[in-house]
């Protein structure tokens, strides 16, 4: 029995020394009789100090003879959230609870257990969750608006311009004035240019193929267009699966590749780019690698909005985003996203 008690005391001492909650033994005058390292670290108080009243107790209305400390007055084990003053004058958010530990029968002096749990970390985690939720909603709203505008440009403005083009061709067939015919032809050619621009803007806002066909055809179309405009860059794309993904995964992967290729074209001076999209049993993996000039990641981490937006998109999908770059050797972006829903394979 004694061995069990000694063993129990040993573990209780270890718990007292290592637990993250602040543990304080105080008397009814709130003088600290014993405290663990976490309480010292959390508050900065010392042995024999008096525990200050929390912000709630400082301001609460008292009945006659009532103890200002709500927890002691209640004489049970309640807990509540409040702000507790620390040694340097600041107040921290804590969850507090008390328990009556000992009463001297002769003097009726009492000793109380006070437990303090730091709420700062929890509040920061809640703020981070809220911030992530806001970013997610903003991204979804942005993509929804892009989809609406792209559809309006393609089906609304684009079709109207096409009707005008057809009407000009019909008018041209009835006009026999050479100068007027030349002018109409110039107008029609300019109109075709505007129609092509509208089609390009619509595609940049949101490619129709990503909703109709999926990520693979959309990426192929994007990279083929870039290859035509930048023949000096050898762009290679490889994918090991033709299965469809959840729409949110497809559009965000597409945006990552789109942003990465924008950076390659604008900054990298690369000769070769390799994009690989693989599906495993558990994940989708994307790699974008170039042999360009590279850059110092730390120097632009707080300035590169494009990199930040890519990272935020992948974070919203529960994935991981990493980037490595070596000056003079190129850049590699890797993302990994948990397995998404499967749909029909591409044609």
User: For 109, left (φ over 0), alpha (ψ -120 to 50), or beta?
Assistant: beta
Report residue 238's pLDDT band, with 50, 70 and 90 as the boundaries: very high
**Alpha carbon 2 to chain centroid distance?**
54
Going edge to edge, which strands form the sheet with 283-290?
A: 234-239, 272-279, 283-290, 330-338, 320-326
What are the tokens at 189? Answer: 């050619």
Whether the CB-CB separation of 261 and 306 falls below 8 Å is answered with no
* Average pLDDT of the residues in 224-241: 91
* Average pLDDT of the residues in 95-101: 79
The secondary structure of residue 165, as a DSSP letter, is H
- DSSP lists the bridge partners of residue 236 as 274
Q: How far apart are CA 61 and CA 63, in angstroms?
A: 7
Q: Read off the pLDDT of residues 14-66 as tens digits, 9 standing for 90 and up.
A: 888 888 888 888 888 888 899 999 888 888 888 988 888 887 787 888 887 77
Q: Which residues contact 184 (CB under 8 A, 6 or more apart)?
A: 168, 171, 172, 175
The secondary structure of residue 156, as a DSSP letter, is I
What are the tokens at 129? Answer: 């969750």
Percent with pLDDT over 70 in the chain: 83
What φ, ψ does residue 222 adopt, rounded to 5°? Answer: -60, -45
Supply the pLDDT for residue 80: 65
Q: Read off the pLDDT of residues 123-177 as tens digits, 9 standing for 90 and up.
A: 676 776 777 777 777 777 777 777 677 666 756 676 777 778 778 877 877 888 8
Q: How far apart are CA 244 and CA 284, in angstroms?
A: 11
């Amino acid at each position: 029995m004694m061995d069990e008690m000694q063993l129990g005391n040993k573990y209780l001492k270890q718990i007292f020394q290592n637990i993250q909650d602040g543990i304080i033994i105080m008397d009814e005058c709130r003088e600290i009789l014993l405290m663990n390292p976490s309480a010292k670290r959390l508050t900065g108080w010392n042995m024999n100090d008096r525990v200050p009243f929390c912000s709630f107790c400082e301001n609460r209305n008292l009945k006659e003879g009532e103890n200002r400390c709500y927890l002691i007055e209640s004489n049970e084990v309640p807990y509540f959230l409040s702000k507790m003053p620390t040694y340097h004058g600041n107040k921290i958010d804590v969850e507090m609870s008390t328990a009556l530990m000992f009463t001297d029968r002769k003097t009726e002096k009492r000793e109380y257990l006070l437990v303090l749990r730091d709420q700062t970390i929890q509040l920061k985690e809640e703020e981070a969750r809220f911030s992530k939720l806001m970013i997610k909603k903003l991204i979804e709203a942005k993509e929804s608006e892009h989809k609406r505008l792209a559809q309006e440009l393609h089906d609304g403005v684009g079709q109207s311009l096409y009707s005008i083009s057809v009407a000009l061709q019909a008018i041209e067939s009835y006009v026999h004035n050479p100068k007027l015919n030349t002018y109409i032809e110039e107008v029609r050619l300019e109109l075709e240019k505007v129609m092509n621009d509208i089609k390009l803007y619509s595609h940049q806002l949101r490619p129709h193929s990503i909703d109709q066909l999926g990520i693979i055809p959309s990426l192929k179309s994007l990279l083929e267009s870039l290859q035509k405009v930048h023949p000096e860059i050898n762009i290679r794309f490889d994918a090991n699966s033709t299965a469809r993904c959840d729409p949110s995964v497809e559009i965000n992967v597409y945006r990552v590749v789109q942003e990465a290729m924008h950076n390659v074209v604008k900054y990298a001076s690369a000769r070769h780019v390799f994009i690989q999209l693989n599906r495993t049993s558990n994940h989708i993996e994307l790699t974008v690698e170039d042999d360009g000039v590279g850059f110092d990641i730390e120097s632009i981490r707080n300035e590169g909005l494009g990199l930040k937006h890519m990272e935020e998109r992948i974070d919203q999908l529960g994935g991981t985003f990493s980037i490595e770059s070596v000056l003079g050797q190129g850049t590699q972006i890797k993302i990994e996203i948990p397995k998404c829903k499967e749909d029909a394979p591409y044609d």
